[in-house]
Amino acid sequence: MKHRVAKHGPRDRSVEQVADRLHSAAIHLLRRVRKQDTATGEGPARLSALSVLVFGGPMNLGQLAAAEQVRPPTMTRIVTGLEKNGLAERVSDSADARRVQIRATPKGARLMQRGRKARIEYLARQLAQLTRDELSTLGEAVEVLQRLLQRWT
Amino acid sequence: MKHRVAKHGPRDRSVEQVADRLHSAAIHLLRRVRKQDTATGEGPARLSALSVLVFGGPMNLGQLAAAEQVRPPTMTRIVTGLEKNGLAERVSDSADARRVQIRATPKGARLMQRGRKARIEYLARQLAQLTRDELSTLGEAVEVLQRLLQRWT
DNA sequence: TATAATTCATTAGCATTGCTAATTAAATAG
DNA sequence: CTATTTAATTAGCAATGCTAATGAATTATA
């Protein structure tokens, strides 16, 4: 027990410190990057859903809602907005008439690629200020995060 | 020139790769953490503004709007909401009657501390799955990010 | 098979949060 | 003393989140 306690105390504090800073950094990072996205003329929810459609392929409304961690009525409205702007379309499911397949249109895919490009280039311009070591650390950390997010409960 | 190009090509691709993944990871991280915050009964904009007040001290509405990167009318409404719930209050500025000082109430400070605690503990529980090395990498990366965000243009 | 229960999407209605334009009140400049 | 500028607010629009209720289709069951 003793060595467990001795290991746990400092470890936990460090974990919480990282957690706190990570949270803060994520907020401030996204707040800045988001401004780039306004150039597309679409809101964040639509862009995020469109991104899932473009990079993940067509899916049902319910699946899309789950992927975006949003309730179905919310996703209904997001998809309606995307459809209105010609970025996605509803396709009726032949097997089950209750379901609706949602898929990105070519226009939607183009907008997504463009927006993604602008966003990443903007971020990359900022990251270019880092030293090679710092960038390398950041790269490793992002991979750690990706793995963590995959098995997140 | 030649060695610059040789260094630049691969470097840029890597920067963009990190940028892309960083963006995605930040989005998904916050999306999950945000759900914890709903337990406070306050929306994200109010919690974020309250956080600035609690940890940064009282300030004018305009300053608060700038700190939160929103327009003054938006902040007016956020402050009104906080005030309605007894979490912050408006204090008239003695020097300049156009200005309004906003400050967190004790209740607001308590809610903030509690919310922050819950949020960080939640995040920390997830981070606790990481190895010591992974956590250390993440810790370093977060510091890199913090420095970068400070000198962000 | 006929009916009951479930599932998927939508509609309706509410609250929050972002914006711009216009307004009000106060301070400052000319 | 008037004109301009500045700080905050009000008014009004759009996007995004929610729950509850509805409609339509599928699946389970009596």
Note the pLDDT tens digit of each residue in A72-95: 999 999 999 999 999 999 999 999
Half-sphere exposure of B144 (CA within 13 A, CB side): 24
Residue A51 CA to residue B20 CA, distance in Å, equals 13
Chain A contacts of B16, Cβ < 8 Å?
Answer: 120-121, 124
* Mutation target among B148, B150, B151 for the A interface, most CBs of A within 10 A: B148
Residues 6+ apart with CB under 8 A from A137: B137, B140, B141, B144
Q: Which of A90, A85, A91 is nearest to A46 (CA)?
A: A85
Positions of strand D less than 7 angstroms from a protein CB: 6-12, 15-21, 23-27
- pLDDT for residue B1: 47
Amino acid at B72: P
Note the pLDDT tens digit of each residue in A2-26: 444 434 555 566 898 899 889 888 8
| CA of B24, C1' of D27: distance in angstroms | 39
The yes-or-no verdict on residue B58 having pLDDT over 70 is: yes
Domains assigned to chain A: 39-150 (1.10.10.10)
Residue A96 CA to residue A152 CA, distance in Å, equals 31
Q: Chain B contact for A113, CB < 8 A? A: no
E strand or H helix that includes residue B91: strand B88-92
Tokens of B117: 């605690």
